[in-house]
Chain A
Amino acid sequence: MDKCLLLMMIFAPLLAAVVVLLLGSNQLVRIRQVSLAAALLSLLCALHVAWHYQSATGRTAEEPFASDPAFEIRVPWLSYLPSPSGAPSPSIEFHLGVDGLSLWLIVLTALLMVSAVLISWKSIQTNPSGYYALLMLLASGMLGVFCALDIVLFYIFFEFTLLPLFFLIGLWGGPQKRYAARKFFLYTLAGSLVTLVGLVAIVLSLVGQGQPMTFSLPELARQVAIQPLPGELQQWIFLALFAGLAIKVPLFPFHTWLPLAHVEAPTAGSVLLAGVLLKLGTYGFLRLCIPMVPLASVQIGLPLVGVLATVGILYGSFCALAQTDIKKMVAYSSVAHLGFCMLGLFALNAEGMSGALLQMVNHGLSTGLLFLLVGMIYDRYHTRQMTALGGLNQRMPILGLIMMFTCLSSIGLPGLNGFVGEFLCLSGMFARHPIYAVWGTLGIILGAWYLLTFVMKCFHGPLKEPHVAEGAIIPDMDRRELSATLPLVALCLWIGLYPKPFLDRMKPEMEALSQRIKQAQKVQVYR
């Protein structure tokens, strides 16, 4: 039963996509129900996995991660001829599993899917079957990335997510949707193809060193630990991986597709884009770069990412400050927040990396929430201009409250989720390289600046609404919208108030990874 859980979680949305397509666009109610049911089923599976997940003990630098065997699925998929040494036939596998690195991201994805379905409930009227089918496909892809433990399978899911999102943006997006969709697609695709070369290089360089060929990520991590790749090769591989992942994250200066895609995407698209898809990049760094090429991560990753992430934090914040379009502001704030995330990741110690992972979840929650709420505002007023809105707190107190909450969570107020992540990221980086951390910390001032300015302009002060139809009273959040947001709010609070259960489940992996880095550095010194 447990073995099938991951399968069910990933393929329930896929099945729903097919069903929805078969239903056709006329049966709007059915379509929504099926999609919601699939999303909920996925979420239930994810929660079940999270609940029964056994945190591994005794992770070592040699074996920094491996799936909880209770949930692992491994089926050969594409086998290559056996190596001359007579080892078993190496094959690309359909290898799913869950470990401390992916657990919370899986839960986050499943949770955000439910919200995404709910938020699209009314705002999508044109061709709903296509829309929901794509949404469901996207869910499958995203869950697949986090569950994949085979390097090729990982990449397959990684790439696959591009397709549904391309159509979601291109078909249901704003006025510039075609440009946005194309840019998003091509930019990220171009990067990730280079990443593919890097992945191939990892696998085959190990074969070149006489290791048996394998595509399994845990297996590769172990091989790399036993016999690290030569330093120069590591650097090349790092750069190749960096090309795709940095665009996906997006790190400054590779971020320009993001504001465009965010602004043009429909609300659910923005939510998932910010909430999950950007995490694919950071997750890729965590899953691929750090364990496979630890030395290059220290040698070039740290200075490169350190500088870019720091610049990104400040740069993103300043850009957000200059925006009058709310969605664009949130989009730029993502650049800043992911800067924190990357800063923590490349602190390369347990604190920083766990902070980064937690920050991924946090960003997913709070930026996801922000996009949901902005979407609600847009649904009501059909504008996202700060200048056109004001004092909405009086019209919609609940929305105002949740927006306030979300902004506070996003600016890293202690007691809410953002703080724990940012704190761990920055403290990790501070221990590694204080200068980056100090500059990064400046970001918390700027973050408060633009978000509170937004709250002040739109929710405080005298009421100012753009023209709405005669006699229409703009309603506050209804039950559907509340059920889309409240679970996220609750999770924000939980992580903020008591992060330990979240951190505990990633701890063995994180400490093993940091151990791995230390080991790599040591080997370097002795060489």
Chain B
Amino acid sequence: MGKQAELLAMIGVVPVLASVLTAALGPRVLKHRSHWPTLAALGYALVLSIAMLFSMSEGSSYTAGFEWLNMGRMDIPVRLVADPLTAIMLVTVHAVALLVAIFSVGYMHDDPGYARYFSVFSLFVFCMVMLVMANNFLMLFIFWEGVGLCSYLLIGFWYQKPAAAAAARKAFLVNRIGDFGLLIAVFLIWTQFGTLNFAEVFRQLDYRYLAEGKPFDGAIVVGERMLTHAQIVGWPLLTICICLMLGAMGKSAQFPLHVWLPDAMEGPTPASALIHAATMVTAGVYLVARCTPIFIHAPQAQALLAVVGAVTALVAALIALTQNDLKRIMAYSTVSQLGYMFMALGSAAGNPNLATFAVIAAIFHLFTHAFFKALLFLGCGSVMHAMGGVIDLRRIGGLKKLMPWTHLTFAIGAAGLAGIPPLAGFWSKDEILVSLNQASHGSPYGLLFTLILGIAILTAFLTAFYTGRAYFLAFWGPERIPEEAGHHAHESGRWMLIPLFGLAAGTVLVGILFGTPTHLFEHFLTQSESLPKFQAVHGSGMIVLVSILAAGGGAGLAAIFYQLRPELPSRMAQAAWRFYDYSSHRFYLDEILGLILVRPLKGLAAFIQLFDLHVVDGLVDWVGQVPGYLGQWFRPVQNGLLQFYALASLLGLAVFVIVLLAKF
């Protein structure tokens, strides 16, 4: 226990130290060596988190922590906790972060904000690990916003670029919408359960009580009210879940809050790889997985989760089909894959026994996705670096020979994303399909999940297709190098290649090592105390076959379209011109959101401003003038006539006499 506690604390402390150190010393002292604190810290933290992973068999661990906020019934300590779910997240984050950091050394080497970059980078890692290690909802929320801040800072890293500045603001604002939901959820949890501690909340919602249909013995004391179990499980829980989901949707870029993620690609590519592909965007998935004990009680919310996931996955995949910006394709792909994870998480709707398996599937996909998506992004980064920042597929091509290593690793990553066996993506995607398949049988939402399963398979096909398209367009065909590339047009250096190799190795291996072949991942994750009892679900051959077919079909079609018969795509585009148009304009989602949300609100603001100026302030001024008007009204009395004065006085006197005599 003690040793684990120290581990946890160190994992938390080390990156923030690196961040502060870099920020303090970076610009003046470290300069081009600013990456060292970060690399050292991440390396150390990775070792620690692997150690943590292996010590997980001893059960969850806690640090002692300290009081952070204690007022009234609100008692929030800073206390770290690690269970298998956390451990997996920690390892993922640290591994990817370390590799991305190494890549960044090469990628960012002559940027004036070098130190700033690494400082924020470390800060991000700190926030991310604290997010997954938090033991209560408030801490989670704090670091949830913390990663959002880092995301904001990194997207707007090149703040001189108006697009970057706008993208950063957009990301923050859209995330704030999600955070609004999360904050409401936190308030509701606090008022309903009287605590924000995960364990406490989950204990009050113990699955057994629900399964046995028994009420709690006694009632939960919430504030001054006494709530019975039935009261809690009703609409409050559903509201909590929907609010939590809103938060997750914001952070994990689910439809319709996904609009910020593609824009976020304005930031440095390694940052996109880490934050907007591998780690931060999965925080939503983590949140929902963490809150599984709550979600179980709200099957409607879970179904909604799956629907949102399905819509997101499909829409993002459709948009990705026609994008020309390599990074943007990857961004939409990330959105799509996150949709996948949401589908998986939602698949336990009305079928509590499936919950653990669903979580495992989602988290496993998160795990594998981190590797191959980071790999793909870094590959993009490598290309971008070589092409002088140009990443438009219409302007580059045939880089196979120029950048062989990049090509190879990109191919592995693409295959992983497309779900080609035996790479990581295949195994995790397969599990999700299995989970969905299971959900479509024997749950109240069977029909819905059948549909979602169909969407998932369609999405798998589309994924393979657009991945293949990107891959073929960039690396095959005649060599096209834009003039911006200049002398950069060569294979990247060691700093950038080593991470590519590392991630490629991960993409190849993690599926086989931990996935269905060994069930290591499953076994490990089921040790989590908060997850319901695990019930193994066995995949069917049918699903595997369909999955392989979809992946292969998509990839093959891409090969045909963009390698063998390059004239086909334009003909297709003409045939389906309207669809092509919609897709390439991202279904006009940004515009629609702008039209129904942003512009009315801005109009409202302008109106309120006028209202304030003329109505509210006018009213105040008017009231201020009332005494003046009254005075004006009395002024004729002072007409200067002596006898009138005497008369008025006498009249006043008469009134007094009459009034007072009448009283007697």
Contact = CB atoms under 8 A, between A and B. Distances in A.
Chains A and B belong together in one complex: yes
A393 to B, nearest CB: 6
Given A415-B146, A423-B138, A431-B190, A256 B72 contact: no
B149 interface: yes
Interface stretch (B51-59, B548-556, B612-620, B646-654): B612-620
B173 A420 contact: no
A498 B146 CA distance: 15
A452 B71 contact: no
Nearest to B142: A414
B162 A441 contact: no
A113 to B, nearest CB: 28
What 8 A-B pairs come out closest when comparing CB atoms? Answer: A350-B72, A460-B165, A414-B142, A322-B609, A430-B187, A256-B617, A321-B605, A322-B605
B172 A424 contact: no
A419 interface: yes
Nearest to A400: B159
B71 A507 contact: yes
B183 A445 contact: no
A424 B602 contact: no
26 contacts: A256-B616, A319-B612, A322-B602, A323-B609, A350-B73, A413-B145, A414-B145, A415-B145, A423-B138, A423-B183, A426-B187, A427-B187, A428-B72, A430-B191, A434-B191, A441-B184, A444-B183, A448-B173, A456-B166, A461-B159, A461-B160, A500-B67, A500-B68, A504-B70, A507-B71, A510-B71
B36 interface: no
Contacts of B190: 427, 430-431
B612 A437 contact: no
Nearest to B223: A431
A419 B191 CA distance: 19
Contacts of B188: 430, 434
B69 A434 contact: no
Nearest to B149: A413
A431 B191 contact: yes
B180 interface: yes
Contacts of A498: 68
A175 interface: no
Interface string A299-342: 00000000000000001001101110000000000000000000
Interface of B: 67-74, 138, 141-146, 149, 156, 159-162, 164-166, 168-169, 172-173, 176-177, 179-180, 183-184, 186-188, 190-191, 223-224, 601-602, 604-606, 608-609, 612, 616-617, 619-620, 624
A131 to B, nearest CB: 28
Contact of B605 (A318, A459, A518): A318
Interface in A420-448: 420, 423-424, 426-428, 430-431, 434, 437-438, 441-442, 444-445, 448
Nearest to B175: A448
A267 B193 CA distance: 47
Q: Which of B67, B68, B186, B187 has the most A CB atoms < 10 Å from its CB?
A: B187
Nearest to A443: B180
A461 B624 CA distance: 45
A420 B138 CA distance: 10
Contacts of A393: 159-160
B176 A456 contact: no
Task: Determine chain A's interface SS by DSSP, over half rule.
Answer: helix
Interface string A248-282: 00000111110000000000000000000000000
Contacts of B72: 349-351, 354, 428, 510-511, 514
B74 A424 contact: yes
B68 A499 contact: yes
Contacts of A428: 72
A176 to B, nearest CB: 13
Most buried by A among B72, B223, B608: B72
Contacts of A27: none
B187 A445 contact: no
Chain B interface mostly: helix
Interface string A486-500: 000000000000111
Task: Give the interface size bracket for A toward B.
Answer: 35 or more
Contacts of A430: 187-188, 190-191
A441 B183 contact: yes
Name, among A319, A426, A499, the residue most crowded by chain B CB atoms within 10 Å (CB to CB): A319
B36 to A, nearest CB: 23
A323 B608 CA distance: 11
A394 B71 contact: no
Contacts of B180: 441-442, 444-445
Contacts of B70: 500, 503-504, 507
Given A321-B601, A415-B146, A452-B169, 17 more contacts: A315-B612, A322-B602, A350-B71, A424-B69, A426-B187, A427-B186, A427-B187, A434-B191, A441-B187, A444-B176, A445-B176, A445-B180, A460-B159, A460-B168, A462-B162, A500-B69, A504-B70
Interface string A225-240: 0000000000000000
A186 B612 CA distance: 19
Nearest to A182: B624
Contacts of B619: 253
Given A413-B145, A444-B179, A434 B624 contact: no
Given A351-B74, A419-B142, A441-B180, A452 B187 contact: no
A153 to B, nearest CB: 29
Contacts of B604: 318
B146 A414 contact: yes
Contacts of B172: 448, 452
Contact of B176 (A354, A414, A434, A448): A448
B313 to A, nearest CB: 26
Interface of A: 183, 186-187, 253-257, 315, 318-319, 321-323, 349-351, 354-355, 391, 393-394, 408, 413-415, 419-420, 423-424, 426-428, 430-431, 434, 437-438, 441-442, 444-445, 448-449, 452-453, 455-456, 459-463, 498-500, 503-504, 507, 510-511, 514, 518
B608 A394 contact: no
A65 B169 CA distance: 45
Nearest to A431: B191
Contacts of A452: 169, 172-173
A249 B223 CA distance: 30
Contact of A256 (B160, B161, B173, B612): B612
B620 A414 contact: no
Contacts of A351: 71-74
A257 B176 CA distance: 31
Contacts of A253: 616, 619
A188 B559 CA distance: 75
Most buried by B among A321, A414, A419, A448: A414
A168 B88 CA distance: 61
Nearest to A323: B609
A370 to B, nearest CB: 18
A315 B71 contact: no
A434 B187 contact: yes
A448 B191 CA distance: 26
Contacts of A349: 72
B137 to A, nearest CB: 11
Given A351-B73, A427-B74, A319 B608 contact: yes
A503 B606 contact: no
Contacts of B71: 350-351, 354-355, 424, 503, 507, 510
A186 B160 CA distance: 46
Contacts of A321: 601-602, 605
Nearest to B158: A460
Contacts of A449: 173, 176
Contact of A445 (B145, B177, B223): B177
Contacts of A427: 74, 186-187, 190
A392 B74 CA distance: 41
Given A414-B141, A431-B223, A322 B617 contact: no
Given A430-B191, A444-B180, A456-B165, A315 B608 contact: yes
B242 to A, nearest CB: 13
